[in-house]
Amino acid sequence: MGIRVFLVDDHNIFRESLRLWLESAADIEVVGETGEGQAALALIKKKKPDVVLMDVAMPGLNGFEITRKITPQLGGVKVVALSAYSERKFVLRMFRAGAAGYLIKDCVFKELAYAIKAVAKGQTYISPKIADILVNGCLKHSAKDALDSFSALTEREREVLQHIAEGKTTKETAFLFKVSIKTIETHRAQIMEKLKIDSVAGLTKYAIREGITSL
C-alpha cells in the first residue's frame, strides 16, 4: 500500500490536476479531497491519511487552524503546506501550527513527491525556494520579534475574524459556534482592540493580507 494522501485546496482545477499527478505515482494513494475548511477537519479525522497537502488560505477554516486542530489529535498525520505564500510569517505560522513541510505551488511534481515521502518518514521538508528566506529571517529576528499581531489573537478570535472577513453576520457566527450574539460581539471588540483596527472593512483587509481567508 502506498502513502495515503489527502488534498485540501479550494481551487478545483488545481486540486483535480494535483490528484491526477499523485495518482500516477505508484507509491502514493489519494484517499480524499475537499475545498472547504470545516469539511477538511471532519474528513481528515475520518480518513486518517498519512500526509495532508494543505493550502493556507481556505474558506470556512484556514489552513493554519486546520493544522493546529488535527496535529495534536492525529499524531500520525503529517501536514505539508502547499501554498502560493512564500513570506516568512506564513511559513513560521504553519510550522508553529504543527506542519511537517512547506512548499510553494510553483514547485515541480518531483519535488512534491519527494516532500511527501520525506514527511511520511518523519522528516521535515522546506522548499529550497523559501529556505534562505526562513533562515535569514530567523537570524535577524529574536523569538520575541517573530511574534506578530496574528499571534496575539486566541484560536477562537482567529476563527471569528475569518467569519467576519467572509461576510457572515454576528447572528450567523454565534449560531455556528453555539454561543450568544453578545459573546461574538465581545470577541469582535477584543479582536479590534488587539489589532488596533476600528472597522469591519479594516478587519477584512487584514484577514486577506495575512492569509486568514482566501477572499
Q: Which residue segments constitute the domains of the chain, with CATH numbers given? A: 3-140 (3.40.50.2300), 149-209 (1.10.10.10)
CA distance between the termini of the chain: 38
How would you class 191 by CB atoms within 10 Å of its CB: exposed for 0-12, middle for 13-18, buried for 19 or more?
buried
Question: What pLDDT sits at residue 148?
Answer: 63
Question: What pLDDT sits at residue 144?
Answer: 46
Question: Which H or E element spans position 51?
Answer: strand 51-54
Whole-structure pTM value:
0.74
User: Which of these, 132, 123, 77, 62, lies nearest to 104 by C-alpha position?
Assistant: 132
Q: Which residues contact 213 (CB under 8 A, 6 or more apart)?
A: 57, 59, 62, 162, 165, 166, 207
- Ranges under pLDDT 50 in the chain: 139, 142-147
Question: What pLDDT sits at residue 146?
Answer: 41
Question: What pLDDT sits at residue 44?
Answer: 94
> Where do the H-state alpha helices sit in the chain?
12-23, 37-47, 63-73, 88-97, 109-120, 128-140, 143-146, 149-152, 155-165, 170-177, 181-195, 200-209
Question: What pLDDT sits at residue 188?
Answer: 92
CB half-sphere exposure, 72, CA atoms < 13 A: 5
Question: What pLDDT sits at residue 137?
Answer: 57
